[in-house]
Structure 1
Amino acid sequence: MPFINADFKDDLPNRVNIVDIINQRVPLKKAGKDYKACCPFHHEKTPSFIVSAEKQMYKCFGCGDGNGVIKFVMKFDNLGLVEAVETIASESGISVVYDKNIKPIDTRLTRYLDLMQRVGQFYIQQLKQSLAKNKAVGYVKYRGISSQIAKRFELGFAPPNSNLLFGFKQDSQDIADLKVMGLLCDDQYRSGKYYDLFKDRIMFPIHNNKGNIIAFGGRSCNNNFKAKYFNSPETPIFSKSKELYGLYHMRKYSRSIDYILVVEGYMDVVSLHQAGISQVVATLGTVTTVEHLNILFRTTNTIIFCFDGDKAGEKAAWRALNITLPVIKAGITIKFLFLPDKEDPDTLVKKESSQAFVKRIENAQFLSKFLFSHIKTEVDFNTIEGKTLFLERVSMLLRKINYKTYQHQLLEGLAGEVNQSIEQIESILERQDISTQSNTFSISKNYEEPPMFNFYDSDEKYQVPMSVPLISNNSLIDQMIGLLLNYPSMVDKTVMLRVRKINNADILQKLANLVLLQEDITLETMVEQFPQKKQQLLNLYNKKRVLKNYDYKDEFLDALLKIEERQKEKSALLITNEIEYTKNLQARKGKPKS
């Protein structure tokens, strides 16, 4: 993201008229020397929102909110500082001045964004003009999506044939960039030929927070396709763990964002917008990540995870809870909404009124209630043994929480559930040694037995015995294995191709291939593939484990780059030695016999 020049930002309010900017969003009426309207930030019948042309300020005497033009646009349009400054400048015909001391934006990124916008327009045209459009148009109508909502989300169509290649074949740079964006793939059976990644699919453009298209998702129109939905791969402008579908549209079409509903699919977002519910986003075929949560926390104080009411939905909700606990902070409320079995937001909002669905949102259960009720279903709570297991499991989760006030409140709730005092619970929590729990693994006889690992949780303070032999003789490979076990979603096709070229890295390569094929893979599933190496893998996992927000991928790619450089140096040295050896051999052969 570019940095705005500080002087330009400070001077901008003096170069624009706050009345004009606000009047484009909230109709103002003249009231003496000022202007007034009903406040856009709270409900009121009598206008108490005043805009002063003289002071270039706004003030609501109802809710107390007030500030200058930049703050208003940030709040009303749900934008960050940079986006708000750019919006005001654009509406006022002013060129933005960026900080020249900051490293300039890579020109390739601008080229990629322009290309993706043109690809989006290409798919829209195909939805209107393609000879195969009827089934796509029919599906959109069948799902009850109006032309207005289809236009809002820029829905398109990828025809059954390789039309994308044909549409952009005149420009070799476009073809090269389409490959980088993952939209064109090399044909392994025909050298120098390509094929479209998306065929016979309804296309859902994925936008960044500025409204630029950065990727696509496709929904099959062919029942013979194995994958009903899939996204374009990760690229220099797209990372699915850092993007949320519908975030841009939510900010643009929601007048206030007092909560955000997190759903699982594109059609859920689109259908809820159709029903007038715009405060909704979807994860892109992956579990909720810390990056997702940080984006949501910057936008609202209440996050509501929405899942189907079946076992798969509850399992997904439980994963979301475990990711949320370490990063929850003051002022944030987390809730969970479970829908009736075999229903999702898309189907349910069509059966019910939008008001009924909003009522469900309002009645979503708090994180604490879900946490306690979920674990109760896994134990026999009516017995002493069941209550003991309940207490142990909940207390293990409480250890993850860094927000001490919330942790203490949950402790009080836990004490009430098991009819014990807070002091007793805190004492148990202090004495508890997670490493003595069940779910242990067999240990190699080649080294001293270290503490056991429990898949339900692990102690953040656990330190790996340094005397334990690791997986390979290369510490960088061991480092990468530990990082991959912690953050498997960072492996994409590009990373996989690079990992395959590493020498003597069988386990790393098998793990990378495994996580690429199986999305949302668990730690248990990964280590179970290597019965003789389970404990060593768990040691590496714990050694690299960081509960707080941490960029595993940067460290992983840095280690990968170092290995690649070492292999290049070694290869170059071998070639040099081979040349020298050949020269010496030829020299010896050329000498006359004495």
Structure 2
Amino acid sequence: MPYISENFLNDLPNQIDIVDLIGKRLTLKKSGSGYRAPCPFHGGKNPNLAVNAQEQFYHCFKCGESGNAISFIQKYENASFVEAVETIASEFGLTIIYDKNTTPIDPSLERYRLLSEKVGEFYRQQLKTSPAKAKAVNYAKKRGISSEIAKRFALGFATPGNKDLLTHFEKTEQDVIDLKALGLIKTGEYGDYDFFRDRLMFPIHNSKGYVVAFGGRAFDKNAKAKYLNSQESPIFFKSKELYGLHHARKFSRTMDYILVVEGYMDVVALHQAGITKVVATLGTATTPEHLQTLMRTTKTIVFCFDGDDAGRAAAWKALKITLPMIKAGLLIKFLFLPDGEDPDTLVKKESALSFEKRIEKAQPLSRFLFEHTKKEVDFNSIEGKTLFLEKVSVLIAQVTYDVYQQQLIDGVANEVGQSVKQVQTIFDRRTETLQVQALQAPLEMNDESAIPDYEIDHHTDFVPAKKENNATKTLMSKMISLFLNYPSLADSTVEVRVRNIDKSEVLLELIHSAEIDEDITQEDLIKPFKPKSGVYKRLQELCTLTPHLSENQARDEFQSALNAAEKFQESTKVKNLISSANTLEAQRKVMEGIQKSKVKK
């Protein structure tokens, strides 16, 4: 994108109200000529954060955090400068002015986004003027969608014709090429055709309010797919986008919670009922990227699922994704609806107030964790309780927030009727066993030239190297796991030491990447290994083995493993020298060399 115009930034405070902006995120109370609220940056219940409407400024008298609207959004939502400006502009309906003297980094991305907006306009126009619009209009009315809500979500209609969208844009060759790149035009045996046909259309907006994709709902009950989504494209990634997030931020006074539902219509229906803090995943299970986005927006995430087996299975997947990401101040809850109901039908059957009470009373993660696991065992028997402890320990080991992990252990002790100390001992032993098993699993590679922990026997599959290398493999896996979770461990001294360890190519490449980019993510760290599927899969596994350590503790652990690997390698070399000494004189010289090296150290 081009740079944002300096004039636009200078005039931004005159176009917005910082009280309104912060008030959507915090509960502000009038205090003198300004407003006060507890500071979200250091915690506490005292109203130390002051917001001044006249100066468009905020300041915390406790921790000293202060700034303007942009800096508040940057810190509160963990957003970049540009993301913060775009968020503010979106909420206040402002059009960002860019510096025309610069050009976009990738012109095609801007072109795709603008074209997606035009496609959205085309679908909206068809909902108004198409001769076939009656089925779409009747469906919307049947589902209780008002014209106001239809306009809010920019609903449209994909006509039944095979080439209506294509015909509309075919005058411009570049548009047709881009529509294919976005997956809106497909090519088949008989030529090009529209991907969406005879469906109610839901534009999918990213968090900044730009249309990046579409979803379509079929009218025919016998349709092979009730809902269709656009394919992933350079501007659309299902694992990152959440339907309705832009609308939730725009139409909610506060973001004290976000409800995560399963479908477009659930989001639309809840908005119709006045419940706006709601989003939906796009045909995928909840991902870590979804959670990161939600965590930047709210402190309470409520997952809403059907109460049947399928709904509870989906909720269990969400729980397992969530566990490693829980941090201080974050609350995760689960809301299960009565059998046969979804948010759309239930909010119409009872009321918005009743539905909101259900949200308030949603089950905390810990309760769902314990109850779900209990149902998988015979909890009334000693054997069942033992299995319960085994299963729960594996899950609790994934929690990286120390305080919450300890609270879960306390909860387990209460469930099984044992002391916290007894359960803690069991947990520690189980966790240690799991980590050792995971770390001992070797890195396998399809690329023979890059196998760090295996020798190749061309008469069989890959086979383990000699037993004396097992310790080195375990230590190397431990260092890689620590490094993937704490890339800040990289420095030139570490690189030099690692380079001297045999078969350390994988760790060395990770260190090089981290030295080049200090803020590199796990995803980008392991991305270069994608062509080597075995190693890539193993690195993904090691990414999930998040150590329960502070950064200083992780550095100590890494140094300890590095020291051990160096000593083991030195010991192995000595053994090899001794075993290769065929005479007493040769053995004596080897021993003298060892003694001299010890004296030097």
Q: TM-score range by the shorter chain?
A: 0.5 to 0.7
1:186 corresponds in structure 2 to 187
Distance 1:269 1:212 in 2: 18
Alignment-derived partner of residue 135 in structure 2: 135
One-letter code aligned to 2:335? L
Q: Do 2:24 and 2:254's aligned partners in 1 also have CA atoms closer than 8 Å? A: no
- Select which of 266, 269, 284 maps to 1:268: 266
Q: 1:362 to 1:75 in 2, by over 3 A?
A: farther
1:164 equivalent in structure 2: 165
1:305 aligns with 2:281: no
State the match for 1:335 in structure 2.
333
Q: Conserved in 1, the CA contact under 8 Å of 2:201 and 2:214?
A: yes
Q: How far apart in 1 are the matches of 2:243 and 2:216?
A: 13
- Structure 2 Cα separation of the partners of residues 183 and 111 of structure 1: 15
1:72: Cα distance to partner?
6.4
CA contact (8 A) 1:76 1:256 kept: no
The one of 208, 213, 237 equivalent to 2:235 is: 237
- Indicate which of 10, 17, 20 corresponds to 1:22: 17
What displacement does 1:392 show?
A: 1.0
Residues 475 and 147 from structure 1, CA distance in 2 versus in 1: closer, same or farther, beyond 3 angstroms? farther
* Aligned counterparts, 1:550-565, within 5 A: 550-551=522-523, 555=527, 559=531
Distance of aligned partners of 1:301 and 1:93 in 2 relative to their CA distance in 1, 3 Å threshold: closer
**Alignment-mate amino acid for residue 243 of structure 1:** E
Asked if residue 462 in structure 1 is aligned to residue 438 in structure 2, the reply is yes
Report the Cα distance in structure 2 between the residues aligned to 1:330 and 1:98, rounded to whole angstroms: 43
Residue aligning to 2:145 = 145
Name the SS of the counterpart of 1:379 in structure 2.
coil
What is the CA–CA distance in structure 2 between the aligned matches of 1:186 and 1:274, rounded to whole Å? 38
Query: 1:377 deviation in Å?
Result: 1.0
In structure 2, relative to structure 1, the CA distance for the partners of 1:66 and 1:148 (3 Å cut) is farther
Deviations 1:433-477 (A, max 9, x none): 797xxxxxxxxxxxxxxxxxxxxxx648613554x9x69566799
Offset at residue 396 of structure 1 (A): 1.1
Identity %: 53
Between the aligned partners of 1:39 and 1:321, the Cα distance in structure 2 is 28
TM-score by length of 1: 0.68
323, 337, 341: which one aligns with 2:321: 323
Q: CA deviation at 1:252?
A: 0.7
Q: Note if 1:112 corresponds to 2:112.
A: yes
Give 1:152's aligned amino acid: R
Give the drift of 1:74.
Answer: 7.0
Once residues 99 and 402 of structure 1 are traced to their aligned partners in structure 2, the CA distance between those partners, rounded to angstroms, is: 47
2:27 match: 42
Q: 1:139 is matched by which residue type in structure 2?
A: Y
SS in 2 for 1:335: strand
Q: Alpha carbon RMSD of aligned pairs, Å?
A: 4.1
Label 1:416 to 1:111 Cα distance change in 2 as closer, same or farther (>3 A): same
2:221 pairs, out of 220, 223, 227, with 223
3-state secondary structure, aligned to 2:196? coil
**SS of structure 2 residue aligned to 1:216:** strand
5+ long unaligned stretches in structure 1: 27-36, 436-457, 480-541, 562-594
Q: Which residue of structure 2 aligns with residue 173 of structure 1?
A: 174
What SS is found at the alignment partner of 1:357? helix
CA drift of 1:65 comes to 9.9
SS state at 1:214 partner:
strand
Checking the alignment, whether the CA contact within 8 Å between 1:48 and 1:60 is kept in structure 2 is: no
In structure 2, how many angstroms separate the alpha carbons of the residues matched to 1:478 and 1:376? 42
> Residue 309 of structure 1 contacts residue 338 of structure 1 at CA under 8 Å; is this kept in 2?
yes
- Quote the offset at 1:203 in angstroms: 0.7
**CA shift for structure 1 position 85:** 3.1
Report the residue type matching 2:17 in the other structure: I
Query: Matched residue of 1:186: which SS?
Result: strand
Q: Which moved more, 1:288-297 or 1:37-46?
A: 37-46
After TM superposition, give the deviation of residue 312 of structure 1 in Å: 0.5
Question: How far has the Cα of 1:82 moved from its partner?
Answer: 2.0
TM-score by length of 2: 0.67
Determine if contact 1:153/1:205 at 8 Å carries over to the other structure.
Answer: yes
Q: 1:272 to 1:53 in 2, by over 3 A?
A: closer
Contact 2:156 2:201 in 1 (8 A): yes
Q: 1:154 is matched with which residue?
A: 154
Compute the displacement of 1:105 (Å): 2.3
CA contact (8 A) 2:262 2:281 kept: yes
State whether residues 17 and 53 of structure 2, in contact with CA within 8 Å, keep that contact through their aligned partners in structure 1. no
How far has the Cα of 1:134 moved from its partner?
A: 0.9
Residue in structure 2 matching 1:392, options 386, 390, 393: 390
Determine the C-alpha separation between the residues in 2 that align with 1:334 and 1:550: 24
**Residues 91-113 of structure 1, C-alpha deviations (whole Å, 9 max, x = no match):** 8998445997xx95200001000
